[in-house]
Amino acid sequence: MTYAVIDVGGNQVIIEPGKFYDVNYIFANPGDIISFKRVLFCSKLGAYHIGTPCLDQIFVKAIVLKHLKGKKIKIFKVKPKKNDRTKKGHRQKLTRIFVEDILSSSS
């Protein structure tokens, strides 16, 4: 089983080839091929590679599928004794990527 841990937008994501993931918004158009170079850990054919902090020769190739918004979260603030209440909502911008392969630059 091949998988890797990458750093995308400040979050660490465990990825496998052939699956899609929702990550923080990436400035790319749908259909673009992107590569992630911040690979923190990689397991390929039973061999483990751990970066300090990143692996230099391993990168992840992915395709941007679409941009979407996450679930709405509600923010409700109350200031006591002031009769001050505010209600806001927020939907995070996300990008759906499809991971094609985990590659090494040496091969």
* Structural domain harbouring 82: 3-104
pTM across the whole model: 0.85
Side chain identity at residue 71, one-letter code? K
Number of domains, the chain: 1
Q: What are residue 66's DSSP bridge partners?
A: 96
Q: What is the pLDDT of residues 59-84, one digit of tens each?
A: 999 999 999 999 999 999 999 999 99
Q: Determine the distance from the C-alpha atom of residue 68 to the mean position of all C-alpha atoms in its chain, rounded to a whole number.
A: 13
Rounded to an integer, the average pLDDT of 15-28 is: 96
